[in-house]
Structure 1
């Protein structure tokens, strides 16, 4: 291979073949339904792509949707080994006195972390939420700090939490878009605990309480997440469902009744499943190409993606996609595993609908003295003639 050919391979776009999939005929996609709600979003869960957005970033009181964050932090603490599911939590008077919906735990009693988590998710117990928050962080205020730090980590840019329950506070707010991001993390990061969100009832202290998510009874594809209500917030819901391998998340703020929040959320899910489809074309870590490397211990490096390349488009459009890959010019060792070395662009006709960084799937160390000198000479002459 001569110098010019070798160097040009570093920057020429390469056509990637999009794997063919079974498609329905292309169809008209109607406008999204207009819901009787203050704000709402519909998100595809694997990619985080928002399919429907109406005031999705408007800051509003989230009511008990706040408890999604409280439960998420608890499951993270379990995964990190900071608390155990069978740890006993002593119920404080502060937790016992918390108003609103309740699990009916008794002051001074001991309850397992697992039971409290079920009481938060299924019964929406404010008492259970405060008890677990105090167990994890020592106080509600300290736990709120954890909530805000976690919100920042998840990119929830329009959320701020003052307490773990969602009881009204002027500085306590979130958005449908942010809650959808949180729901996506709950589903993808800890599927074992996500299974709790599909349970229709929980029996505690001789009281059986149903899950307030009416869609669990109405739609067998729905498997979570949670409802919320205060006078200020209205009736809110975050719900998720899976059909034909595609998972959607619908979040609705500010409806007028329990029946309305279920009906409006169902409209969003129905629209998404009826008119969109999702396909994963390339999985993370899969080799898509090899790129030449200058001055390295090896001559080539494998290129791939850090995340799955998943696309959601109106039905019938996925078959129109093409992808091109462009490598960064003059890749020079050392290169660390995970370094960005190029880019993939997916187009629908002339429109770029998705782009992602190509990363190095392996590390390439510097070559020996002779290799480095020889490649320096080749690059010098390449520069003279180009």
Structure 2
């Protein structure tokens, strides 16, 4: 939250009954790793989670996102026919000797089958054909992919093509790939099922899903693998146990076997080592924000739903939380407006960041009160400037 003023509260929530030290002793061999609880948004494990990495075919998750959005907007449907150009065939089909659905050049294929070719078979021909159908060419589609993930709040990932083929500018982060996967799971449950499909046959060629987690009997139900010489072996996966969903990301491993083992280890540890705790109830007031020029000087902040975390089992590590916003808030403040965020940390690890909403409407105050607020804010600004000078000297 660079540039935001931290107002008010830094609160110790409670002592959890779990061994944070023991949880932190868990280590993944993956150079990049991230484990997310889908429901609460709690970060259970992270390693180089915000460092740029090469996505390889994991970029196809973003390709699928754009296709799903086009379906949701009514611009495409599962019966829409997608043409296979000579470019898609040469760059992504059998002549390219990469992952392919073996689509025939100049054929037209229903979108439902293209999606299976993209997701189950990791077909580069399917990815390029989708890019051309939606954006005209793959370069433009790469910009569309980036714009669409930016709209979801993913600020670091950059896509340059639909396939994940090598490009020096195409980079993602483990954290953002997990958040993207979680968005797809929650927003497109009917289409997400393709990610868990274990095999698909096209052009009389049967191919099995490359996601090794799907055969492990650990509740895995989808997402995508990737491997290039410059990326190593990576995977974005999801698994469900007793109604709890975890999203895992690993990348940079030396072999496919290492990739499968590390992803499984993270998932099994996540299910075993944590327990769910509710922090706040639905709509519960958790603090206040200051208001400039209003009939009231402060406004209560509430949650938008029940707030829960997964916390490590065992000792008394404490949680801390702070309310973050750009303030003071300007009037009018509308009830229900998202005006701040609650950031919860476990030690130095930020485990949760959720929006907070104004619990009431605050209208503009009298001219006298607004003038007084202006003087107070100006004084505060002077103090900030003086402190900055002292810090620099």
- Whole-Å Cα distance in 2 between the matches of residues 265 and 227 of structure 1? 11
Q: Do the aligned partners of 1:159 and 1:173 also contact (CA within 8 Å) in 2?
A: yes
What is the match of residue 165 of structure 2? 167
SS of equivalent residue, structure 1 residue 227: strand
Check 1:93–1:28 CA distance in 2 against 1; reply closer, same or farther (3 A cut).
Answer: same
Residue number in structure 2 paired with 1:71: 64
From the CA coordinates, give the structure whose radius of gyration is larger: 1
Q: Among residues 140, 143, 155, which one is paired with 1:142 in the alignment? A: 140
Residue from 67, 71, 86 that aligns with 1:93: 86
TM-score (norm 1): 0.76
Gaps of 5+ in 1: 1-10, 380-386
Quote how far apart the aligned CAs of 1:126 are.
0.4
Q: TM-score, normalised by structure 2?
A: 0.75
Partner of 1:6: none
Q: Secondary structure at the match of 1:335?
A: coil
Per-residue deviation at 1:316? 4.6
CA deviations 1:93-115 (Å, max 9, x no partner) are: 11111221111111111111111
The aligned counterpart of 1:244 is 242
In 2, Cα distance between equivalents of 1:257 and 1:342: 44
SS in 2 for 1:120: helix
For residue 127 of structure 1, report the CA deviation from its aligned partner. Answer: 0.5
TM superposition shift of 1:158: 3.2
Aligned equivalent of 2:383: none
Q: Tell me the secondary structure at the aligned position of residue 175 of structure 2.
A: helix
Which residue does the alignment assign to 1:197? 195
**Superposition CA RMSD, Å:** 4.2
Call closer, same or farther: CA 1:133–1:316 in 2, change over 3 Å. same
| Contact kept in structure 1, 2:12 and 2:319, CA below 8 Å | no
1:53 aligns to what SS in structure 2? strand
How far does residue 65 in structure 1 lie from its aligned partner after superposition?
A: 0.3
Report if the CA contact (8 A) 2:36-2:42 is conserved.
yes
The answer for the alignment partner of 1:61 in structure 2 is: 54
Distance 1:156 1:32, change over 3 A: farther
1:170 alignment partner, SS class: coil
Aligned residues: 359
Structure 2 distance, partners of 1:347, 1:215, is 30
The question of 1:50 aligning with 2:43 is answered: yes
CA shift, 1:287, in A, is 5.3
Query: What displacement does 1:124 show?
Result: 0.3
Matching residue of 2:77: 84
Are residue 117 (structure 1) and residue 115 (structure 2) matched?
yes
Give the alignment of 1:336-355 within 5 angstroms. 336-339=334-337
Aligned match of 1:210: 208
Q: Which moved more, 1:238-247 or 1:129-138?
A: 238-247
Q: How far apart are 1:277 and its partner, in Å?
A: 2.4
Distance across 2 between alignment mates of 1:51 and 1:226:
21
**Change in 2 beyond 3 A, CA 1:110/1:33:** same
- Listed as ranges, the gaps of 5+ residues in structure 2 are 1-6, 373-393
